[in-house]
Amino acid sequence: MRTLRPLMAAALVAGAVHAQDSAPPSGPAPAVAAEAAAAPASEAAPAAVPEVTQARPPPEEFAGCNQGPAHGLPEGPVALGYFEADMATGRRACPRTEVGLGGRFGASIDTPNFYGNLGINGLLFGSFAVRPDVELFATLEAANFTYTVNAVLTATQLTLGNFTLGGAYQVLNRGTVMGGVSARLLLPTSFETPGARAVGGELGFAASWRPKGWLEVHGYLGADVTSAFSRANPYTRFGGLLMAGAQLQPVSWFAFVLDLTGRLGEVSYFAPTAGLRFRIFKFGIEVGATLPLAGNDRHDFIMGARFSWRFD
Amino acid sequence: MTRLVWLGLAGALAAAVGAGCAKEGCLGGEDGCRVPPPCQKVAFTCSGGGALSVETISAPAQRPGGWNALGARGDVKLSNGVVDLVIAGVGTQNYLDPNGGSILDLSPAGQAKDTVNSVFQAVGILPNDAAWYSTLEIIDERPTRVAVQVRGTLDGRPNVPVSTLYELRPCDPGVRVRTEILNGSTDNQTWGLLDGYYWSGRESLPFAPGAGEGFTHVSFGLTTIQKAFRAFPYFAAAGHSGDQQVSAIGAASCTDPQLTGFHSDQISAAGLALEVVPPRGSLVFERFLAVADSKDVAGAIELLLEVRRQVLGETPVTLSGSVSRVGGGALDAERQASVLVSERTLTTPADAGIPWTQVVPGADGTFSVKVPGDKTYVVEVHAFGRKEIEKQFEVAAADVALGDFVLPGIATLGVTVQDAASLMPIDAELFVVPETEAGATALAGNLHGRFTTCSPWLGPPPGASPACNRILVRNGQATAEVPAGRYEVLAFHGPFWSLGRELVDLQPGSTSLSFSLTRLPLKPAGALSSDMHVHGAASFDSSIPDLDRVLSFSASDLDVIVATDHEVIYDYGRVVRDLGLESRMSTVVGLETTGHIPWLKVKDYGFPLVIGHYNFWPLRYDPSLPRNGAPFDERIEPGTLFTLAKTGFTGLEVIELNHPWAEPEFGRDLGFPRAIFLDTTKDLPASDDGSGNGASVYIRTPPGAAYPNDGHHAQEVLNGSDSTLHLQYRAFWFYVLNQGRLKAGTANSDSHSLTDSTVGVPQNLVFTATAAGPGFDVTAFNTSVREGRIIGTNGPVISATLEDAAGQKQGPSVKPFTPKAGASVEVKVSSAPWIPVQEIRFVVNGAVVKTIPLLAQPMDPFATSGDLVRYEGSTPVSELLAGVSGDAWIVLEAGATLPLTADLGGGLDLAPKDGKEDPDGIPDTTDNNGDGVVNAADVSPAGEDRGPLNNPPLPKRGAVGYYFGAITGGPPNAFTNPFVLDLNGDGKFNAPGVKGGR
């Protein structure tokens, strides 16, 4: 946790600076900000501490997020993607604090080309709402199992997978409409690639409109880059992602989500994703599946499940 | 927020910066990159320093020697005075290497001992798993090193770059190799970065340490190949052609304790273990390929153990000993003594031990080998294919003297063969056959479990004489060592001569036999005995030396032989002249194209195909060119191949479809119609309907081609001495005749050695105006071949004529004519006394309409005189054509009765989709359980839909035809080409179709 502290502090400071830009000065500095200011100079973002003078916006300004799905129910786009550790899966607009376990299973079966690939990820994920408008989040592929077929030759692999770490900041909160920017870094933790360690990043904007208590319409626009620390050509690759979807929540403990995702880049696809969400108090369950209908991605489908516990 | 954004960007930037660091070798993909020198922990020293050279081959004199040597113009030859290495020039496709850059030749420097077909790089078994090199760079850094760097991608996968460096340093007894590959795709891959060693059933046998392995390996097919993957510390392969033109090669990793791969007598793979390689993943493989001037694998293994000592710190020990034989005798050949060293005890089953090395003693009987220390070894001494001695030794860390191993005495058989009429010595082939079944069992042997098991085993079956149980007689003389025992020795000089036989009890010491053979009045006047499909050591799957090959032509008393070596144009003319045979024998320069890289797709079948094998002659032989001038034959349809070959013809061409219905071998199709699942239950369309099904592909003309895909002139109806698939080839020939696509039927041995098939058995009696010898006119000969003026036979001779409307007697031919009203087919069938003929069949439009059974058989198979005619008579055409409307063709057959067969499958599973193959009109299964019907109960192994198609059992000792079976391994067969009858007189032949006009 100690190694994450500078990043957290930096994110907090960045969020505070933004607050200074958009809200009138009033009230005492929030305790959490003060904690960031009190961090050692070597760990905190430089020159940020003197600017941390703004009060946290009153809670009622985050009514949109508060009007969201019932406590514990996952929200935003279904977190089921085609890439490393939740890269390019979109992001919810509202911060929250939660931890969870998940699994992802993807299959590519290309019989005419004698190719097959099955991938199973065991995921640890979590987010921490540093403030009502700031969130840090991370996903770790704690176990990454791959089974790949080349004609009749097969191989398996079980390694520590990828790790992504990011932050989100809510920049729009107009009653039923919310929006936030997010950034995610793909860190070189995985041992799965011989001769290379994958790295990358993603920037995105997530929006949510909640016209009714039972309906959320959400979207995400993002750009990502992946590369590698490698003895070989790292093949730095860029991509753009556009996602739109809706969540219907007929009862407080269940919701249905349908997202449509289009991606352009070295790997491109257009894919619907469907998800079912449940909650038991603060315990949330999300199961989903996606399959590309167009593009060059070779997945036949990806399915996954997540179990989370919400703290805030 | 701005800072958060910048932080993310900074992270991405850091990744990009890090990613942009200097890359290893050519993995970065930069122009001008260099693959690092491989095997930097390895160093060899020598006196004199080793003279490095590198040159691009531009003239035949620069080509390396050896039966497997392929280097030609445009290829690069490197040498360090110890090793010669040839890398295929870019654009020069050879075998499984799609575009050059592979190792073509690797041998002791300056010696004609290349035992390598091809060593290429691949990551799997699919065609697009092989490296396609597009650039070749010569690195001349003498006196430090010479090298060749090739770069490219996997075949058809531009996002997967591959680079390989082949490097020779002074004194190195081998080549250092490093290959780098990068997964630039966006998919996970299963790769094993491997060297593929293409042996193709030739003389080189791979040897790898492993429990129950050594020379023996797990059998596998394309779909079961993964179970054959093993880890092994090294592997080696030596040539076993039985002559002096052999050497040994081997490989060991320069970085890891183990190589991983598989071995068979067709192909070996050795490299990195299979693993998942995600996008951006890269693999690097460094190895040392050792070369030794030895007849055994021990020579190469000693070098590989030295590499492992330097890389891994292992210290081998030396085992030394000697072999002698009771009564003395030479010990400088592998057949005479071969020492196998295995880690086991005498109480351990031999197939559970770990063979570590094998050595052939020197002429003085001494030997020494290096093996890992601290093990218990059993040392076996093998002679003439059998284990004669084994002793156990405890080996610690010090060298061990093994002492003397004394082999039993051996008999020396001297033979003379002469023409009974002229008393002149003649060339012949001897078949040594144990007198009894018990003797056959006791004397059976093989080469450490490999190649054919023979009784007796006189030498490696694929190589020089003596091979298996066969001995060539040159100019009436032969000498061979034979294990003691009672034998029948058969002297053979072709199917139109008497067969000699002597019963002999061979004991240690010398024994002499004499044979006098009689030319029988069987071969019709004006006919040339011709074998139009033979192979010698120039073929990638043969290792019979040229001299023995040509001698075997003469031993079978052939007049015309077409050289049809795989993938290379070849000319036996020089050897014919060297043997003084040019006055009575003519050889024609030709080629057998042999697809290796699957690519062709047909409708409703998902796997890629190759187009099978075709013979072409006469062709221009140019030894300076790749494949001696043979056309590129991969990834093109037959019509395009025929067109490419056209420029090389030196006379009227013949294109022959070979073994049209042979089963694929290792996923490579051997016959075009079988490959494309041609459904012979249906008529061919008049023109390509564009459907892409078998019929469409069979008749279409590829874009830019001058020939349709069925533009060949002849097809094999008999192939191989045992005629195994005769019924299938015959059925297909009858089908195309019924389609009005009139192709000449031929009969060829397809011999690759003295053992697999005997040249001239079967053969074509080509009725032509030219004669063998100096005045031979290949165009006249080919005109006759194309017109089908051929009797195909492995013994019986059919003479058949039919009067045409003008009253002229016509022989069989694919030229249509109108028969005289009331005409009869005049038939005479004759054969040598040792060749039984059980029946004569008349085939009309594909159906047997009349059989003349139970012909009298000669009492004495070794008779040299007497009546050879088994049948003579006539049959009215009207009788044969009863029930047939329209035009018709008539083929006559003579020989053994045909077995009961059925067509249970072979086709695509189209309708209904029941998971079973549909019938394809070609017989595929015999009555294997003998219940009088052919059905699923006859099929084996379980799970198959059809087969096998077996020959009838060979006659037992004492039965009629036993000696014919001992020579050929199959039943007697002969056929005529068709009488093609234009019955309605419209000047053309109207195809009767699959129903045969019935």
pLDDT in tens, B806-850: 999 999 999 999 999 999 999 999 999 999 999 999 999 999 999
Average pLDDT over residues A263-271: 96
For residue A21, what is the nearest residue in chain B, using CA coordinates? B1
Per-residue model confidence (pLDDT) at position A175: 85
Whether the predicted interface score ipTM is above 0.85: yes
Q: What residues of chain B lie within 8 A of the CB of A199, using their CB?
A: 11-12, 14-15, 18-19
The pLDDT value recorded for residue A39 is: 36
With an 8 Å Cβ cutoff, is A236 touching chain B?
yes
Closest to B385 (Cα-Cα) out of B348, B340, B325, B430: B340
Kindly report, residue by residue over B249-285, the tens digit of the pLDDT: 999 999 999 999 999 999 999 999 999 999 999 999 9
How far from the centroid of its chain's Cα atoms is residue A11's Cα?
16
Residues of chain B with CATH 2.60.40.10: 315-407
Q: What is the DSSP string of B457-504?
A: --S-TTSSSSBTTEEEEBTTEEEEEE-SEEEEEEEE--TTB--EEEEE
Strand partners, B792: B764, B975
Is a pLDDT exceeding 70 seen at residue B391? yes
User: What distance lies between CA B496 and its chain's CA centroid?
Assistant: 28
Q: What is the mean pLDDT of residues A34-56?
A: 39
Residue pLDDT, tens place only, B302-348: 999 999 999 999 999 999 999 999 998 888 899 999 999 999 999 99
Q: Is the peptide bond before B618 cis (omega within 30 degrees of 0)?
A: yes
Contacts of B10 (CB under 8 A, 6+ apart): none
Give the pLDDT confidence of A209-266 residue by residue, as tens digits: 998 889 999 999 999 999 999 999 999 999 999 999 999 999 999 999 999 999 999 9
On average, the pLDDT of chain B sits at 95
Question: Which residues 225-254 of chain B have a CB within 8 Å of chain A?
Answer: 225-226
User: Tens of pLDDT along B131-188?
Assistant: 999 999 999 999 999 999 999 999 999 999 999 999 999 999 999 999 999 999 999 9
Does the CA dihedral A192-A197-A200-A206 come out positive or negative? positive
Q: What percent of chain B has pLDDT over 90?
A: 92
Q: Alpha helices, DSSP H only, in B700-739?
A: 726-738
Cβ contact B28–A202 (<8 Å): no
| pLDDT > 60? residue B3 | no
**Interface residue of B35, B159, B190, B666 to substitute, partner A, most A CBs within 10 Å:** B190
Per-residue pLDDT of B580-606, as tens digits, reads 999 999 999 999 999 999 999 999 999
Residue B244, judged by CB atoms within 10 A of its CB (0-12, 13-18, 19+), counts as: middle
pLDDT value at A11 more than 80: no
> How many interchain CB pairs under 8 A, A with B?
186
Smallest Cβ distance to A235: which of B14, B18, B280?
B280
State pLDDT tens for residues B840-895.
999 999 999 999 997 788 889 999 988 899 999 999 999 999 999 999 999 999 99
Long-range contacts from B604-608, C-beta under 8 angstroms, 24+ separation: B604/B693, B604/B908, B604/B910, B605/B677, B605/B908, B606/A111, B606/A112, B607/B667, B608/B127
Is the pLDDT reported for residue B21 higher than 90? no
Distance CA B552, CA B558 (A): 9
Residue B78: name the closest of B25, B152, B132, B137 by CA.
B137
Supply the pTM of this predicted model.
Answer: 0.91
At CA A131, angle to CA A129 and CA A135, rounded to 5? 35
Q: The domain B315-407 belongs to what CATH superfamily?
A: Immunoglobulins (2.60.40.10)
The pLDDT of residue A43 is above 60: no
Confidence at B911, pLDDT banded by 50, 70, 90: confident
Nearest to B15 among A147, A156, A200 (CB): A200
A214-238 burial by CB neighbour count: b if 16+ within 10 A, else e?
A: eebebbbebbbbbbbbbbbbbbbbe
Rg (CA), chain B: 30
What is the architecture of the domain spanning B117-310? Distorted Sandwich (2.70)
pLDDT surpasses 60 at A44:
no
Alpha helices in B69-211 (DSSP H): none
Q: Using CB atoms, which residue from B124, B184, B190 is nearest to A235?
A: B184
Shortest alpha-carbon distance between residue A244 and chain B (Å): 23
Residue A13: per-residue pLDDT: 33
User: For the residues of B596-642, what is the DSSP string, one character each?
Assistant: -S--B--TT--S-B---EEEEEEE---TTSGGGGPPP-SS--HHHHH
Query: Touching check for A206 and chain B: CB below 8 Å?
Result: no
* Contact status of B587 with chain A (Cβ, < 8 Å): no
CATH code 3.40.50.2300 for B411-517: no
- Residue located via tokens 């703290």: A311
Mean pLDDT in residue range A105-119: 95
| H or E element in which residue B292 lies | strand B282-292
Q: Nearest CA to CA, how far is B180 from chain A (Å)?
A: 10
Q: How many whole angstroms separate alpha carbon B549 and alpha carbon B531?
A: 13
pLDDT in tens, B73-120: 999 999 999 999 999 999 999 999 999 999 999 999 999 999 999 999
Alpha carbon distances (Å) from B811 to B397, B830, B887, B892: 78, 17, 18, 11
**Helices A5-22 and B2-19: angle between axes, nearest 10 degrees:** 140
What's the pLDDT band for B49 if we cut at 50, 70, 90? low
Is A232 in Cβ contact with B225 (below 8 Å)?
Answer: no
Strands ordered across the beta sheet of B649-657 = B591-594, B613-619, B649-657, B714-719, B744-748
Query: What separation in angstroms does the CA of B760 have from each of B589, B657, B752, B891?
Result: 17, 18, 12, 22
Residue-range domains of chain A with CATH? 2-56 (no CATH), 64-310 (2.40.128.130)
pLDDT at B858 (0 to 100)? 81
| 3-state SS assignment for residue B363 | coil
Per-residue model confidence (pLDDT) at position B746: 98
Degrees to nearest 5, angle at CA B417 with B413 and B419: 170
Start-end ranges of CATH 2.60.40.1120 in chain B?
Answer: 411-517
The mean pLDDT value for B185-212 works out to 95
Per the rule left: phi > 0, alpha: psi between -120 and 50, beta: everything else, B787 is alpha
Q: Which of B15, B192, B223 sits opposite A152 (nearest CB)?
A: B223
CATH of B520-791 given 2.60.40.180, 3.90.550.10, 1.20.120.140, 3.20.20.140: 3.20.20.140
Top mean pLDDT of A15-24, A61-70, B745-754 is at B745-754
Contact list in B for residue A108 (CB cut-off 8 A) is 187
Least confident of A11-20, B754-763, B967-976: A11-20
Contacts of A199 (CB under 8 A, 6+ apart): A185, A186, A187, A188, A226, A227, A228, A229, B11, B12, B14, B15, B18, B19
In this prediction, residue B11 has a pLDDT band, given cuts at 50, 70 and 90, of low
pLDDT, one tens digit per residue, over B409-419 is 999 999 999 99
Handedness of CA B306, B308, B311, B317 (dihedral sign): negative
Q: Of A111-115, B58-62, B364-368, B515-519, where does mean pLDDT reach its minimum?
A: B58-62
Q: Are the CB atoms for B751 and B562 separated by under 8 Å? A: no
Mean pLDDT, residues A185-190: 95
State residue A40's pLDDT score: 40
pLDDT of residue B333: 92
pLDDT attached to residue A91:
94
Of B1, B14, B274, the CB nearest to A153: B274
How far apart CA A128 and CA B884 sit, in angstroms, is: 91
Please check whether residue B2 touches A, CB under 8 A.
yes
Tokens representing residue B364 in the block: 């003085």
Shortest CB distance from A201 goes to which of B1, B8, B284? B8
Give one DSSP letter per residue of B933-965, joined into a string.
S-SGGG--STT-SS---PPPPPPPTTSTTHHHH
| A11 to B4: CB separation less than 8 angstroms, yes or no | yes
Say whether B124 and A151 touch across the interface (CB within 8 A): yes
pLDDT at B691: 94
Question: In this predicted structure, what is the pLDDT of residue B243?
Answer: 87
